[in-house]
Amino acid sequence: MKAARVPDGSHRQHDWTTPIELVALGAIWGSSFLFMRVAAGDFGPLALVELRLALGTLILLPFLWRARRLVTAALAWRFAAVGALGSAIPFTLFAWGAERAPAGIGAIANSMTVLFTVLVAFVLWRERIGWSRGLAMLMGFAGVIVLMSGKTAGGDVAGAALAGVAASFCYGFAANFTRRWFAAVPPLAAVAGTLGCAALMTLPLAALNWPGAAIPAASWGSAIALGVICTGVAYAFYFRLIQRVGAARASTSTYLIPVFGVFWGWLLLGEAPSASMLGAAALILASVVVAQRSRDS
């Protein structure tokens, strides 16, 4: 007699927990722009980024230690290159922008990463873009123009938006290099290696620009949360999701980053989103959806 199939309870659990985890990850990464907004003025961009990188590295260092036999001199140089493009430079640009404009500005600009990843792959490796991806890029860049045109009292919106776009451009290079260079390295070990190299590169500049005045407790708390939760824990959480539900589904959490970036700024800092921010977010998010659908098809 054939045994009856027993439903997999863990599978059913994943069916409803995965959306919750995706939302949680989007909320965590969205909060990074809030924490930068709170702490950047007291620490300055370089000191804040150094703390973020150092704490994130400490959280993920055990994964790199387990894969230490894979680390060669050539791989270390690649860690350094991706660390600069994927962490040190963009983190600093976002922190610089956070000093000057609402948290939502950087979060919205961050969404351009998907489009720049496609563009870099086309320029360097001639990967096909196609008409739908081309349309997505035009929509995304139109959103950036709308974002830069916005005004806030005492804020440099255009400068912060431009810094965020430049940071996303760096992310586009880092994403492509990561995919091609670290295929044989466990993902969290690669992240730890790149963060560690970025921390070492940023350290001298951070030491020279370390704040002389006392740092308020709120800024210390924000800096620690930025490094531990938004960097170390979030990366571990993200790659755990990739292992369970796949890269395409896990990446949908990035759609929520600008939503939560704007939401946290409004809820906790009273930074109400302007019409230009909402319009830019709609254009850029629509462009990301179009680009992702084209990639997956």
C-beta of residue 139 within 8 angstroms of C-beta of residue 283? yes
Residue 8's pLDDT is: 47
For residue 150, what are the domain limits? 26-209+216-296
247 within some domain: yes
Measured CA angle at 37 (ends 34, 42), to 5 deg: 135
Task: Please list the pLDDT of the chain residue by residue as tens digits (297 residues).
Answer: 344 444 444 454 456 788 899 999 999 999 999 999 999 999 999 999 999 999 999 999 999 999 999 999 999 999 999 999 999 999 999 999 999 999 999 999 999 998 999 999 999 999 988 888 889 999 999 999 999 888 765 678 999 999 999 999 999 999 999 999 999 999 999 999 999 999 999 999 999 999 999 999 999 999 999 999 999 999 999 998 888 887 767 887 888 999 999 999 999 999 999 899 999 999 999 998 888 776 554
Burial readout 67-106 (b: 16 or more C-beta within 10 A, e: otherwise): beeeeeeebeebbbbbbbbbbbbbbbbbbbbbbbbbbbbb
178 within some domain: yes
C-beta of residue 260 within 8 angstroms of C-beta of residue 106? no
The single-letter DSSP state of residue 86 is I
**Total structural domains in the chain?**
1
161 within some domain: yes
- R_g of the chain computed on alpha carbons: 19
51 within some domain: yes
91 within some domain: yes
Q: Which residues contact 29 (CB under 8 A, 6 or more apart)?
A: 230, 234, 253, 254, 257, 260
Which amino acid, 265?
Answer: G
